[in-house]
Amino acid sequence: MNNMPMGLRFSLLDRSFKRQLDQRLRELELTGVQFGVLGQLDRLEKLGQGEINQRALETASHVTHPTMTAILKRLEQKGFITCRPGSTDRRSKSISSTEKARCLRREVNRIDEEVYTWLCTGLSPAQTEQLDEITGIMLRNVFELHGKGCGKSCD
């Protein structure tokens, strides 16, 4: 395995992680895209963005307006978000997560930790800590490369 190209290694790890997560999301009747939007909403709420509108989620998720409209409609029907007219512009939607979404985030964080622990089977605690440090540096490099800054979500 040591002669396997690094890009392929990351790709295989990514696919394995996603497969495990997607399986659990299907049980909750969520798609990966819907979950991604909930993740972006959670991130923006934690950053204290104030009122979050559809355009902010479209930008953060790299999704078109019609696609985001459909995603938000489904998430609202499933009880994960609330949409109401914006306070400054009544034509814009103000979007916020519900307690159901926050519970989902906690559950997915738990699942994420389980999958990560499984992937780290055979690593010593020191190696796991070193992996965390290395991937943190790599993520900062990615954010700097793309000019987005790391912000609070990388720490």
CA dist., res. 103 & res. 80, Å (int): 10
List domains and CATH numbers for the chain: 13-98 (1.10.10.10)
Mean pLDDT, residues 23-42? 86
For the stretch 37-81, pLDDT in tens is 998 898 889 888 788 999 889 988 888 999 999 999 999 999 999
For the stretch 33-48, pLDDT in tens is 898 899 889 888 988 8
Q: 93: helix, coil or strand?
A: strand
Q: Residue 47 is encoded by which pair of tokens?
A: 């950053």
CA dist., res. 62 & res. 92, Å (int): 18
Name the DSSP letter for residue 97: E
Q: 121: helix, coil or strand?
A: coil
